[in-house]
Chains A and B, each alone.
Chain A
Amino acid sequence: MAMTDPDRDDEFLEGFFRAARDARPEPSEALMARILADAEAEMPRAPEPMPVTRPAGGGAGTLSWIAAAVGGWRGIGGLATATVAGLWLGYAGGADAGFLSGGIWPADEAAATVELMPGAEVFALATGWEG
């Protein structure tokens, strides 16, 4: 059968177009997940935080500023550990410096004697101190 009537042809085709519009393919859940993963990966990042500036007031703000200056609270922790260790070494070293050798140098050898204040005797003579 020849179809030469444009109106009838349009009507004929419109039935197919309508059916196709109603049967719209939708993206699968897997595709949506891939698209959203791409969106996350490509999402422009927020600008870097501003450099830490010292607040005008004191208090907790000042503490935070100091903490930030030495690398955060972990930095504070490291700093405190180093301070305590230094104090302890200073105290214990005066009492018995031999422990520093860790057994490498026998304590009864002359090399194990560490003179922490080489000028102490001269200083004592000069000041008349006798310990």
Chain B
Amino acid sequence: MALDAQDDRSDDTLLALYGQGDRVAARALADRLAPIAVRVARRMLADPAEAEDVAQEAMLRLWRAAPGWQAGTAKVSTWLYRVVANLCTDRLRRRRPVPLDAAPEPEDGRPGAEAGLIAADRAAALDAALMTLPERQREAVVLRHLEGLTNPEIAEIMGIGVEAVESLTARGKRGLTQALAGRREELGYGDD
């Protein structure tokens, strides 16, 4: 069991304790925040190894920010989301353009595909579809629908207004619907 499951102290408190040399607080923060960083980076980059590098870099920046952290000025998790998103953006810009049809596709043609994909296949299909979206739309959709953040939180993370978040999310969802439409029946969403 992760330590943070037993620890109801706030991120702010844990970060302050880490700043005073508390290793237990560091472990609790890592258990609590590293999964967030990995999830978002994986969905932004579609590359597990690169996502882990981003997560490590984001957590490193958090450790370094600890001594000067002003409690109450920003949520630690919001700060981390923003750092992860920025690191992903940097990496995506350094990448050479990838043709849309090079985006990873879920395995197909297996016996299970005919009877309807299992949840893992749907998750994989969504990951592939996310990679067809423009970067900002993808970020907004991931934060809203996979991380469950509110629009104001996303607006703060992305440095834009709430209306812009709503616009990005709506366009992102339309894009996903189109990207997945061709597999609608295959994925168990027949015309009923």
Tell me the chain A residues, 11-64 only, with Cβ under 8 Å from chain B: 12-13, 15-28, 30-32, 34-36, 38-40, 42-46
Is the CB–CB distance between A12 and B52 below 8 Å? Answer: no
Q: Which of B29, B35, B145 is within 8 Å of A24, CB to CB? A: B35
Number of residue pairs A-B, CB distance < 8 angstroms: 117
Instruction: Please give 17 more A-B residue pairs, beta carbons under 8 A apart, in addition to A20-B122, A27-B52.
Output: A12-B177, A12-B180, A18-B119, A19-B123, A19-B126, A20-B127, A22-B123, A23-B120, A25-B48, A25-B51, A27-B37, A31-B38, A31-B52, A32-B34, A42-B64, A44-B19, A46-B21
Determine if A35 and B56 form an interchain contact, defined as CB atoms under 8 angstroms apart: yes
Q: Is B1 an interface residue (CB 8 A)?
A: no
Asked if A20 and B30 sit within 8 Å, CB to CB, the answer is no
CB nearest to A45 among chain B residues:
B21
**What's the minimum C-beta distance from B96 to chain A, rounded to whole angstroms?**
25
Q: Which residues, 171 to 192 on B, are CB-close (under 8 Å) to A?
A: 173-174, 176-177, 180-181, 184, 187, 189, 191
Q: Is B20 positioned at the interface, with any CB of A under 8 Å from its CB?
A: yes
Residues of chain B within 8 A (CB-CB) of A45 are 21
Assess the B21–A44 pair: CB atoms within 8 A: yes
Residue A108 is within 8 A (CB to CB) of chain B in the complex: no
Give Cα A15–Cα B129 distance, bound, in whole angstroms. 14
By the criterion CB–CB under 8 Å, are B173 and A27 in contact? no
9 CB < 8 A contacts A-B: A3-B181, A9-B173, A26-B35, A27-B55, A31-B52, A31-B56, A35-B56, A42-B60, A43-B18
B120 near A1 with CB under 8 A, answer: no
Please tell me if the beta carbons of B34 and A1 are within 8 angstroms of each other in the complex.
Answer: no
B-to-A contact residues, CB < 8 Å: 18-21, 23, 26-27, 29-31, 34-35, 37-39, 42-43, 48, 51-52, 55-56, 59-60, 63-64, 66-67, 119-120, 122-123, 125-127, 129, 145-146, 148, 173-174, 176-177, 180-181, 184, 187, 189, 191
Which residue on chain A has the smallest CB distance to residue B178? A3
